[in-house]
Amino acid sequence: MNIVLVILIAYLLGSIPSALWIGKVFFKTDIREHGSGNLGATNTFRVLGKKAGIIVTLLDILKGSAAVWIASLAYFQPLPVETIVIGLFAVIGHMFPLFARFRGGKAVATSAGVLLAYAPIVFVIVLAIFIISLKVTKMVSLSSVIVACSGIIIAIVEFIRSQNYSFSIIVICMALFIIYRHRANLERIKNGTEPKITWL
């Protein structure tokens, strides 16, 4: 019973559409009708500005972390799975949110939140890769895909090193989600039409 409850909690946490609610409450703007139409931090930066973008990024990270932290509470222990598995359901909730007609974001920040709670050293590594890539390419989408590919490599190395099935499988799943949900961006990158940031 506990496993069903924590999965439901994780999904509902992930389903909180931070970008949509911040936009509607503070800016009277439905972010789905502007920019890329995506309920993610990147579109929030583009449509609502830097402050809103930072807040949404932090909230989306928190969703992933909170799912893992809640799953680790003594009240829910023991669970038949690693807590990172529960975090995956927050990522699914973010991509297909119950509270936003199942049209969500691209899973980057919430996946990062799962890593922050479960494997903070890996979080720091992928964050560094993201920042360096963003500095060089000026493209959030490409940097996100590069981080996802890096995550797959890290997961394979960790599996070889420690045989941690749960970590490796979930990280690879999150990475594939990110790559798949950036397929339109990858097409624009190929065509040379992907927007670039100007603030870094």
Would residue 198 count as lying in a domain? no
Of the CA atoms within 13 Å of residue 121, those in its CB half-sphere come to: 3
Torsion sign, CA atoms 70, 177, 98, 79? negative
pLDDT value at residue 189: 94
Q: At what angle do helices 165-181 and 108-118 cross, to 10 degrees?
A: 160
| Domain enclosing residue 13, as ranges | 2-191
For residue 47, give the 3-state DSSP assignment.
helix
Percent of the chain past pLDDT 70, that is, above it, reads 100
Contact 69, 13 (CB under 8 A): no
Going by C-alpha positions, the residue among 56, 29, 30 that lies closest to residue 42 is 56
**How many Cβ atoms from other residues are within 10 Å of residue 178's Cβ?**
23
pLDDT value at residue 56: 95
CA 5, CA 71: separation in Å to the nearest integer? 10
**Helix (H), strand (E) at residue 43:** helix 41-48
Contact 108, 94 (CB under 8 A): no
CA 192, CA 29: separation in Å to the nearest integer? 29
pLDDT < 50 stretches in the chain: none
**Amino acid symbol at 14:** G
pTM, 2 dp = 0.94
Would residue 77 count as lying in a domain? yes
Would residue 196 count as lying in a domain? no
The structural domain count of the chain equals 1
